[in-house]
Amino acid sequence: MINHGAPALVLCLLLAGCGQAPAPESATTHEPALVSGIDRDGFDASVRPQDDFYAHVNGQWIADTEMPADRARWGAFFLLHEKSQRDVLNLIEEVSTQAEVEANSPTQKIRDYYNAYMDAATTNELGIEPLGAELDAIGAAGSHDDVMRLFSTLGMQGVNGPVGAFVFSDRTDPNTNVVYLSQAGLTLPDRDYYLMDDERFVQARALYLDFAARILERAGREEGADRAERLLALETRIAEAQWAREENRDPTRTHNPMTAAELAALAPRMNWALGFEAAEIPARDRYIVMQPSYFEAVDDIIADTDLDTWRDYLAFQTVAAFAPVLSDELFDLHFEFFQAGLQGVEAPQPRWKRAVDSINANMGELLGQLYVDRHFRPEAKARMDAMIRNLLQAYRESIRELDWMGMETRQAALAKLDKFTPKIAYPDQWRDYGPLEIVAGDLAGNVKRAALFEYRRNVSKLDRPVDRSEWFMTPQQVNAYYNPTWNEIVFPAAILQPPFFNVAADDAANYGGIGAVIGHEIGHGFDDQGRKADGDGNLRDWWTAEDNERFEQRKNRLVEQYNGYEVIDGLTINGQFTAGENIGDLGGLGIAYKAYRLSLGDSEAPVIDGWTGDQRFFLGWAQVWRAKARDEEARRLLTIDPHSPPRFRVNGTVVNVPAFYAAFDVQPGDGMYLPPEERIRIW
């Protein structure tokens, strides 16, 4: 699933184990008559479920729904996101008009941040002036050491540069925080945009040249078009050095511990000591270099590129980073490139939505406390607890029954499963925003200070115990994630709503919705990435060679299945890039079905609205992926998103689940039919 704010190592939507299994728990404990939880209004009755299950459940909705002008995608996730935005707006507006508030209190921070964001007159009057100090420092850069220093100081404020750094648990020692160094520095969404000659990438480069030229001119640098050409050439060199997205998915290849001396030998022309000092990162005995060959190459790129080009690059990246909170003119330039140009969005979001999203990004847990108090229903957590226990039990039974896995690997898999940590709804301990200063009327300054606060909070983790209570999503975020280094599955409060979870609904649709999401996130612990960590989060190989080969065979069959799905204009899914999410979907849905059947015990599911329990289960899965996207966005996502498009998250998964065939009487010759020998089961 969708993954935003988390470390790069977190995966988003999401002899232990041999004793007597606990009895499955029913998540249905309340008395009122239950509803089906299925929204029939979006169904296309002209399409049989046996021929195109996704279109049967969602076809009429897709045909009738007009894409909002300010959206690149629309559907179940985004409807809930919009609901969350409005819920949060109501909370913000309650405090935004308060005249007397305590200094440095949450109310003061939220009030002054929001009101500064909504003050368009002041941002227009100031124009680019809030970046004066940064642009002056860039203009004064007289050496490559100055450039290295600026990569650090501007990076602390969220400005893009060619050297990325963050602090997180060491994947081979999860109880120790360590500095990770990663490739960065591109403006376009992916290296392919610079290196490939498909029409969409050629058009994107033309958009880049126009955008960069206009931004540079606003930053006071003449002959913007010529300078933009040099920037494109520079970023193309950086792109050529970067690893492909498929390579970056391998946690073993991207885990390369190095001492300071080894790092200096890898990239000897970079002044690492100066860069770390400017970045307020204390000297370390050990760093994790994620893409060593990239740093070998970028070492020369940084040193060989002339200072004027670097000054242009830094000015461009700085203004582009802050353009959304500067004048309307600069905001419009940013929108025309990133949203309209690359995603096909017709109109920008209204200012209030941008303000809400900005506060969520910068002070999310302050809003989260208010959101949980007002909108979260405690009974949802109780039912989630029961569902998670049933999902884990279903995984235990499935792992014990696998015919392709040997006993040694099976025991390790069960041991890992027993160590999963669920987090539901909201953190036990809220983040302290006390050091963050929010100033009335200073929007750009507030954004800078918020970025610096978060950066320093992250770096302060060094030499401290790892805090596993931390969350990497806010309660009001509609999403979920799995963190392999902490072996945890996390479900924010905002996703615990229809169509994912309905406290008034029968269990079937809930298991097909949030149950399959739970299964998906557990499944990440056993996908092609997550399976390389053990139950304590240590990156290590706990597989026998034979079982590793059997897993890879099954994964490769799934890769080939998804490689064959055409999405738009002859473009197909990259089955290798999406393998982890596809494994999560396949295992998640299959195990959620097993958990649903366990929850019934000896009872039979009722027929509700004419559907059996099994039918409602699969219908629940299909309706949560109800969505549509603009063509430009569909093409962009095929390049950068490790998730398959919604149609194939549904159809590509259910065709491999035998219970789907029985539920809807799918027969040879039907569009959804796969012969039994072609169906893939991994977990």
pLDDT tens-digit map of 490-549: 999 999 999 999 989 999 999 999 999 999 999 999 999 999 999 999 999 999 999 999
**Whether the predicted pLDDT of 555 surpasses 90:** yes
pLDDT tens-digit map of 419-448: 999 999 999 999 999 999 999 999 999 999
Q: What is the mean pLDDT of residues 565-579?
A: 96
Mean pLDDT lowest for which of 18-32, 114-128, 310-324, 395-409?
A: 18-32
Residue 39: name the closest of 491, 383, 493, 500 by CA: 500
Strands 287-289 and 173-183: parallel
Q: What is the mean pLDDT of residues 219-229?
A: 95
Q: What is the mean pLDDT of residues 330-334?
A: 98
User: Other C-beta atoms within 10 Å of 284: how many?
Assistant: 16
pLDDT > 70: what percent of the chain? Answer: 95
User: What pLDDT is attached to residue 34?
Assistant: 81
Confidence of residue 7 (pLDDT cuts 50, 70, 90): low
pLDDT tens-digit map of 88-105: 999 999 999 998 899 999
Q: What is the mean pLDDT of residues 334-363?
A: 98
The C-alpha atoms of residue 476 and residue 371 are separated, in whole angstroms, by 7
Residues sharing a CB contact under 8 Å with residue 99, sequence separation 6 or more, in sequence order: none
User: What pLDDT is attached to residue 30?
Assistant: 41
User: What pLDDT is attached to residue 32?
Assistant: 54
Can you spell out the DSSP letters for 606-662?
PPBTTB-HHHHHHHHHHHHT-EEE-HHHHHHHHHH-SSPPHHHHHHHHHTT-HHHHH
User: What pLDDT is attached to residue 21?
Assistant: 31
All domains of the chain in start order, with CATH: 74-127+326-375+421-450+468-486 (no CATH), 132-324 (1.10.1380.10), 380-420+508-683 (3.40.390.10)
**Whether the predicted pLDDT of 272 surpasses 70:** yes
The C-alpha atoms of residue 160 and residue 163 are separated, in whole angstroms, by 9
**Whether the predicted pLDDT of 5 surpasses 70:** no
For the stretch 391-430, what's the b/e string if a residue is b when 16 or more beta carbons lie within 10 angstroms of its beta carbon? bbbbbbebbeebeebeeebbbbbbbbbeebebbbbbbeee
Q: What is the mean pLDDT of residues 326-330?
A: 98
The C-alpha atoms of residue 137 and residue 147 are separated, in whole angstroms, by 10
User: What pLDDT is attached to residue 28?
Assistant: 42
CA dihedral over 134, 135, 141, 145, signed as positive or negative: positive
Tokens of 99: 């005249």
Q: What is the mean pLDDT of residues 478-493?
A: 97
The C-alpha atoms of residue 329 and residue 274 are separated, in whole angstroms, by 36
User: What pLDDT is attached to residue 197?
Assistant: 96
pLDDT tens-digit map of 385-425: 999 999 999 999 999 999 999 999 999 999 999 999 999 99
The C-alpha atoms of residue 362 and residue 359 are separated, in whole angstroms, by 5
Please name the helix (run of DSSP H) or strand (run of DSSP E) that holds residue 151, with its range, or none.
helix 144-155
For the stretch 112-122, what's the b/e string if a residue is b when 16 or more beta carbons lie within 10 angstroms of its beta carbon? bbbbbbbbeee
- The owner of tokens 């669920």 is 422
Q: How would you list the strands of the sheet with 287-289, edge to edge?
A: 163-170, 173-183, 287-289, 256-258
**Whether the predicted pLDDT of 18 surpasses 90:** no
Confidence of residue 31 (pLDDT cuts 50, 70, 90): very low
User: What pLDDT is attached to residue 321?
Assistant: 98
Residues sharing a CB contact under 8 Å with residue 667, sequence separation 6 or more, in sequence order: 50, 673
pLDDT tens-digit map of 143-193: 999 999 999 999 999 999 999 999 999 999 999 999 999 999 999 999 999
